[in-house]
Structure 1
Amino acid sequence: MAIFGCVADDFTGAGDAASFLVKGGLPTQLFNGIPKEGDKVLPGVQAIVIALKTRTQETSSAVDDTMKALMWMGEQGVKHFYLKYCSTFDSTREGNIGPIADRAMELTGSKISLLCPSLPVNGRTVKDGCLFVNGVPLQESPMKNHPLTPMWDCRIQELMKEQSIYPCKVMDRSWFGKSLEEVTQAFEDEKRTYLIPDYETDEDGEKIAAMFYKLPLLTGGSGLLEPLARLHAWELGIGSESAVPDNTTSGGAFMVAGSCSKATLGQIKHFKEQGGLSYRMDPVAMAEGKESVEDVWSFIQKHQDQSVLVYSSDTADNVKKVQEMGREKIASMLEQASAQLAQKAVKAGMTRIIVAGGETSGAVTKGLGFDSYRIGESVAPGVPIMIPAGREDIRLVLKSGNFGQEDFFTRVLEMTEKKEGK
Structure 2
Amino acid sequence: MSKIVIIADDLTGANANGSLLAAKGFSAVTCLDMSKWTKEDFNNYDAVCVNTDSRLVPVEQAVKRVSEGLKFLLTCDNPAVVSKRIDSTMRGNVGSEIEEALKVMDESGRYEEPSVAVVVPAFPSSRRVAVGGYLIVNGIPLEKSPIAKDPIRPITTSRYVAIIAEQTDLLIGYISLDTIAQGPAMVTEEIERQRREGVRIVACDAVLDEEITVIAQAVKSVSYPVLAVDPGPFTAAMADARVPVRARHELEDNALVIVGSTTDLIRRQMDELRLARKCAIVKVDGRLLVNLYKRDDTIREAVQKVVAEAGKAEVYGVCTVEQPDDVHSIEDMARENGISLKEASERINKGLSLIAELLLKEKSLRLGGIYSSGGEVTMSVTRQLEASGFSVRDEVLPLAVYGRLIGGKYPNMPMVTKGGFVGDSESIVHCVNYLFAKISTQTRPLEGETK
Match of 1:114 among 107, 111, 118: 118
Indicate conservation of the 8 Å contact 2:2/2:43, yes or no. Answer: no
Indicate conservation of the 8 Å contact 2:229/2:235, yes or no. Answer: no
What corresponds to 1:223 in structure 2? 233
CA offset at residue 182 of structure 1?
Answer: 2.4
In the alignment, does 2:242 pair up with 1:232? Answer: yes
Q: Deviations over 1:184-213 (max 9, x none)?
A: 431243334211212000111110111124
CA offset at residue 157 of structure 1?
Answer: 2.1
Q: Deviations over 1:96-139 (max 9, x none)?
A: 11111112112213443222111000110001111000221101
Q: Name the CA shift for 1:205/1:378 in 2 (closer, same or farther; >3 Å).
A: farther
Distance 1:240 1:149 in 2: 45
Indicate conservation of the 8 Å contact 2:87/2:231, yes or no. Answer: yes
Distance 2:228 2:7 in 1: 11
Distance 2:101 2:415 in 1: 32
- Percent of pairs with identical residues: 19
Distance 1:102 1:379 in 2: 44
SS in 2 for 1:41: helix
**One-letter code aligned to 1:148:** I
In the alignment, does 2:137 pair up with 1:128? Answer: no
- Extract unaligned runs of 5+ from structure 1: 246-273, 275-305, 311-376, 381-402
Match of 1:200 among 207, 212, 220: 207
In the alignment, does 2:90 pair up with 1:89? Answer: yes
Indicate conservation of the 8 Å contact 1:6/1:83, yes or no. Answer: yes
CA offset at residue 34 of structure 1?
Answer: 3.1
Q: Deviations over 1:138-189 (max 9, x none)?
A: 0111212223222210011221221111122220134332437623431243
Match of 2:170 among 161, 166, 177: 166
- Extract unaligned runs of 5+ from structure 2: 107-113, 254-374, 376-390, 396-412, 417-428, 443-449
Match of 2:158 among 154, 159, 167: 154
**One-letter code aligned to 2:94:** I
CA RMSD in angstroms comes to 4.1
The 10-residue stretch of structure 1 (51-60 or 108-117) with the greater mean CA deviation from structure 2: 108-117
What corresponds to 1:61 in structure 2? 61
In the alignment, does 2:32 pair up with 1:32? Answer: yes
Q: Name the CA shift for 1:308/1:47 in 2 (closer, same or farther; >3 Å).
A: closer
SS in 2 for 1:75: coil
Distance 2:191 2:228 in 1: 14
Indicate conservation of the 8 Å contact 1:59/1:99, yes or no. Answer: yes
SS in 2 for 1:15: helix
Q: Name the CA shift for 1:23/1:35 in 2 (closer, same or farther; >3 Å).
A: farther
TM-score by length of 2: 0.52
The 10-residue stretch of structure 1 (71-80 or 120-129) with the greater mean CA deviation from structure 2: 71-80
CA offset at residue 307 of structure 1?
Answer: 8.5
Q: Deviations over 1:58-102 (max 9, x none)?
A: 211211111111111111222431000111112xxxx51111111
SS in 1 for 2:36: coil
SS in 2 for 1:132: strand
Q: What count of residue pairs does the alignment treat as equivalent?
A: 271
Distance 1:198 1:22 in 2: 25
**One-letter code aligned to 1:198:** D
Indicate conservation of the 8 Å contact 1:115/1:219, yes or no. Answer: yes
Structure ID, larger Rg: 2
Distance 1:379 1:308 in 2: 10
What corresponds to 2:45 in structure 1? 45
Distance 1:412 1:227 in 2: 21
SS in 2 for 1:187: helix
